[in-house]
Amino acid sequence: MTVNFRIARSRPIILGVTASFLTFVAIAVSVLYLGAQSQKINNDCLDSRIGELATAASLLIDGDLHEKLQADPTNTEIYSTLVKPLVDLHNLVPEIYYLYTMIDINQKIYFILDTTNSSQLKTARQLKASKVMELYEPAYDPAEWLKTVRSGRSFVDKEFFTDEFGTFVSASAPFYNSQGEYAGFVGLDFDVDYFLVYEQEILNREFIALVLGVLFSLLLGFLVWINQSTVKKLRDQQYLMSITDPLTGAFNRRYFESVCEKESQLYKRHAIPFSILVIDIDYFKHVNDEYGHPTGDAALIELVALIRSSVRVENSCVRLGGEEFALVLPNTLAYKALILAERLRLLIEETPFHAVEKPSFHFYLTVSIGVADITQGDDILSNSDKSLYRAKENGRNCVVAQGVIKYA
C-alpha cells in the first residue's frame, strides 16, 4: 500500500514534468523552425530586393550611349546624361551605398559610371569615386559572376562584406544596346545593417519564446500558420516581381527564357512546336524626342495592353528591352504565327496613342515583326531576330517569317 500510495502521489508530478518537457520540446522545435523560416524569408527578401534594384537600375542605362562613353571616356556630356537616372535612383533608395556600371574585357573588369562622381548625389557617406575605365580587381574569381550577368541574369553575392561604414552585399544586372547585344552591367552595394538588426530581433524573440514556452504553446500553432501564409504571400509577390517588367507589366527576359526552355522541352519530347514573334517599334526614339519620355513610357504601356487584349492568355507578352517585345505562341508554327503577326501589325498601325501632356492629341506607331518557330532550329530567338532584321531592311512596318515578307 505504501509503495502504491507513493506511486500515486508521484504520478501527477511525473505526468506534469513529462507534459512540461514534451511541451517545451515541441515549442522549442517549433520556435527554432519558425526562426529559421523567418531568417530565410529575410534573406530571400534581401536577395530579391537587391536583385530587383540592380535590374531596375540596368533598365535606366542606354546601352548605345554607354558604348560611346566607353570609346570616349572624356565625354562629360554623355557621362552626365547616363549617370543622372542612376543618381535619381540612388537618392530614392538611401540603403544603396555605391551604384555604378562596369564592363568586362578579356576577363578584366572596368568601371564606367559611378554616381559618386555626381554633385546631385545626396548622401552623408564619405564615398570614393571611380573613374571611367578604372580597373577593378575583385578579391575572388569573377568567372561565375561574369558568366551570370552575360547570360542575362542578375547576380547577388552570397556573402556579406563589412568595413568601417557597415555591412553590405553587392548585386549586378546586365544591360544591352539597341541591337540587343550585351553592353555591360550595373552594380550596386547595398547596406544590410537594418536586416542584421531584424535578425537579432528574431533571435531575441526566440529566446523569449523558449523561456515562456509553456505559455506560448497554444499560440504557436497560430503564429506558424500566420508565418507560413506570409511566406507564401511574400514568395508569390517576389516571384511575380522577378518575372515582370516594372514599367509595362509585361513579362521580362527572365520569364521569357524559362518559357522558351519549357516549350523547347515539349518540342523535343512530344514534337509540339512553338513560335516567337519579336516586335520592335519603328523609330520609337522620335516619340521620346518629340513628345517626351512620359509619353513614350505611356505608349509602351498602352502597346502591351493592346497586344495582351488581342491574343490568348497563354501567349506570353514579354518586354525584351527598350521598345522591343516578344510573343511566345505555344503549339503554333510560323505560318500561323505570321497571320497573327500581320493582324497585330495592322491593329497597332490603326490604333491612336495619346500624348501625356496633351490628352486630346494623338499619334500613331508602326512596328516591324520577326517570326520564327522551333522547327527552324534550337536558337529560335536568334532566328526571329534575323527575321526582324530583314523586316527593318525592307523598310520597316512589315512582318518577316521564314523568308516570307508581309508588307504594310
φ/ψ bin of 175: left (φ > 0), alpha (ψ from -120 to 50), beta (otherwise): beta
Which grid coordinates are listed for 392? 527593318
**What whole-number distance in Å separates Cα of residue 144 and Cα of residue 141?**
8
Q: Look up 323 and say whether it is catalytic.
A: yes
In which residue are the cell numbers 530586393 written? Answer: 49
Q: Which pairs with CB-CB distance under 8 Å and at least 24 residues apart come from 128-132?
A: 130/100, 131/73, 132/69, 132/70, 132/73, 132/74, 132/79
> Which run of H or of E encompasses 113?
strand 108-114
Place of cell 517599334: 281
Residues 183 and 198: their CA atoms lie apart, in Å, by 37
Tell me which residue of 369, 390, 373 sits closest to 381, measured CA to CA. 373
How many C-alpha atoms does 293 have within 13 Å on its Cβ side? 4
Residues 6+ apart with CB under 8 A from 321: 59, 175, 176, 180, 253
Query: 279 — phi, psi (to 5°)?
Result: -110, 125
Q: In a 3-state reduction of DSSP, which class is residue 94?
A: coil
The amino acid occupying position 398 is C
Given the residues 52, 137, 263, 323, the one annotated as active site = 323
For the residues of 242-264, what is the DSSP string, one character each?
Answer: HTB-TTT--B-HHHHHHHHHHHH
Catalytic residue ranges: 323
